[in-house]
Amino acid sequence: MTDKEQFTPQNTGDNVFNRQKLLDLSTKVLEKIEGRLTAERFRGSESDNTYLGFVRAFSSLMTAHNATLRDSEIALLESRVAQLESENESVRVRVRE
């Protein structure tokens, strides 16, 4: 992807940004930056500052979104553990009787 190309995200139909989609997006950004940095000659562009501003905003949004995903996954896991513990406790009570 060059500076002049427009990035159009692929619509998955459900517009859900799960961890895999966030990883795919960040990979594309990193590939673009790596391509610029590893080229034979680095040429600055007028749009570099704007692009880097968007990358910083994107990074902050990804961090916040990932934390939200993690928190929701932890809540789901905690409820599953509580359910398993209650099922395990009811099995113990039956065995004692």
C-alpha distances (whole Å) from 65 to each of 19, 22, 31, 56, 62 are: 9, 9, 21, 14, 5
Specify the pLDDT at position 6.
59
* Residue 58 pLDDT: 92
- Flag whether pLDDT at 2 surpasses 90: no
pLDDT > 70 fraction of the chain, expressed in percent and rounded: 78
CA quadruple 7, 30, 49, 42: dihedral sign: negative
Check pLDDT > 70 for residue 59: yes
How high is the pLDDT of residue 8? Answer: 56
Q: In the predicted model, what is the mean pLDDT of the chain?
A: 83
**pTM of the model as a whole:** 0.59
**Given a cut of 60, is residue 16 above it in pLDDT?**
yes
Distance in angstroms (rounded) separating the CA atoms of residues 36 and 48: 11
**Integer angstrom CA distances of residue 75 from 20, 62, 78:** 20, 20, 5
